[in-house]
Amino acid sequence: MDLGLNGRTALVLGASRGLGRAVARSLLAEGVAVYAGARNLDAVREWQDALPPEQRARVTPVSLDLSSDASVMSAAETVIAAGGVDILVNNSGGPPPGAVTSLGPDVWTAQFNMMAGRIFLLTNLLLPAMQKKKWGRVLTVASSGIIQPIPNLALSNSIRSAISGWSKTLSNEVAADGITVNMVIPGRIHTDRVDQLDGLAARRRGLTPDDIAAESWSTIPAHRYGRPEEFADVVTFLASARASYITGSSVRVDGGLIRSV
């Protein structure tokens, strides 16, 4: 199937590792030119250097720190000055774990601004170029916790639920402009973030990370963590011309982890 992505441009956030890096590579394989946003541009250049030359030439590393308004504005200006992008993949670092009762207002505000507020700002800045072309894709990485809250991940469960409301609302506002807006919901995809959370849980409970992973697998009908490439290919399909009538949706990539229909 030709996904109709050849020659398109994308900005992928959190592209230095994990899900963002996998999405960037998957889009590159389909002929997309990718702005790879992250703080650690050395990590971006490392995977960029390992690409075949034709794909390597289509990667532009972009410094982007979601904890800073100035950094987000500067990244947006770089992209807009070059004509904007057709595809925006909103992705951020995961928030620290914690129970609702352990979190004060300052933490909520800072994390909301980082995970949601600056994504909203960036999207608003990049939408006009998509509206002008009458074609666009806005994809936002969420978490299974917005459907089935994950214990001890209060910030993630709550702030991503707000992002879900934003995504659905925006999808209605721009659908007539040929722009689709969707959420992609990872269950447990094997990245550094999952290793980090398993390590923290192991320490908290006096177990090994392997014990925690085995326990996790037993709750997933597929009996394994997903691979970043499995997640990325779904994002790439949703970004494609072939997914033109999917908007306002939340698509799960979870091996059956979420129990509800």
Ligand X SMILES: NC(=O)c1ccc[n+]([C@@H]2O[C@H](COP(=O)([O-])OP(=O)(O)OC[C@H]3O[C@@H](n4cnc5c(N)ncnc54)[C@H](OP(=O)(O)O)[C@@H]3O)[C@@H](O)[C@H]2O)c1
**C-alpha span between 87 and 109 (Å, rounded):** 28
Sign of the CA dihedral running 144, 114, 175, 179? negative
Identify residues 33-62 at the interface with ligand X (CB under 6 A). 38-40, 43
- The residue among 13 and 174 lying less far from ligand X, judged by its C-beta, is 13
- The residue among 94 and 136 lying less far from ligand X, judged by its C-beta, is 94
Residue 128 has which token pair?
Answer: 């006009």
CA gyration radius for the chain? 18
Q: Which of 8, 25, 137, 188 binds ligand X (CB under 6 A)?
A: 188
Q: Which of 5, 23, 64, 154 binds ligand X (CB under 6 A)?
A: 64
Cβ neighbours around 246 below 10 Å, total: 16
**C-alpha span between 189 and 158 (Å, rounded):** 20
- The residue among 2 and 210 lying less far from ligand X, judged by its C-beta, is 210
Cβ proximity of 27 and 33 under 8 Å? no
Our finding on whether 191 is near ligand X (CB under 6 A) is: yes
- The residue among 39 and 45 lying less far from ligand X, judged by its C-beta, is 39
Surface-to-core class of residue 200, CB atoms within 10 Å of its CB (0-12 exposed, 13-18 middle, 19+ buried): middle
The site string for ligand X over 6-35 (x = CB under 6 A, - otherwise) reads --------xxxxxxx---------------
- The residue among 12 and 127 lying less far from ligand X, judged by its C-beta, is 12
Q: What are the residues binding ligand X (CB under 6 A)?
A: 14-20, 38-40, 43, 64-67, 91-94, 114, 141, 143, 156, 186, 188-189, 191-194
